[in-house]
Amino acid sequence: MVVLSFLVLVGACGGEDRGDVVAFCELAEDGVGMRPAEGEEELAQLDALEDAAPPDIREAVTTVANASREIDEIEDLQELFSKAFALEEAVATARQEIRTYTQHHCL
């Protein structure tokens, strides 16, 4: 009985974060992450997308989120264009992965 209680407790407290596919799909279907985030509200939505992302798509979402955060913090126009250009391919690939995931996992 003690071992069973321990296993239930460990399972409830530990374990891998599986994300929230329903919340992820709702945000992704609303276009969150498919365009550069502008302002605090869109960055907050991107944070929510990242938090909800299931493990098999989380890396792509993190790539998009980190790029938006980096770009949002740059004030110098020359640096902004340079950084955006440098991130363009990685972000485009990540966005395509998100699109493919939503097509296969979201209704």
* pLDDT, tens digit, 9 for 90 and up, residues 22-49: 999 999 999 999 988 888 999 999 999 9
Counted domains in the chain: 1
How many Å apart are CA 54 and CA 21, to the nearest integer? 6
- The answer to whether residue 9 sits within a structural domain is no
Instruction: Give residue for tokens 């972000």.
Output: 91
- The answer to whether residue 8 sits within a structural domain is no
pTM of the model: 0.75
- The answer to whether residue 4 sits within a structural domain is no
- The answer to whether residue 21 sits within a structural domain is yes
- The answer to whether residue 26 sits within a structural domain is yes
Report the pLDDT value the prediction gives residue 91, as an integer from 0 to 100: 92
- The answer to whether residue 31 sits within a structural domain is yes
- The answer to whether residue 57 sits within a structural domain is yes
- The answer to whether residue 12 sits within a structural domain is no
Which helix (H) or strand (E) covers residue 32, if one does? none
Q: Which residue range forms the structural domain that includes residue 63?
A: 17-105
- Report how far apart, in Å, the C-alpha atoms of 58 and of each of 2, 61, 86 are: 36, 5, 21
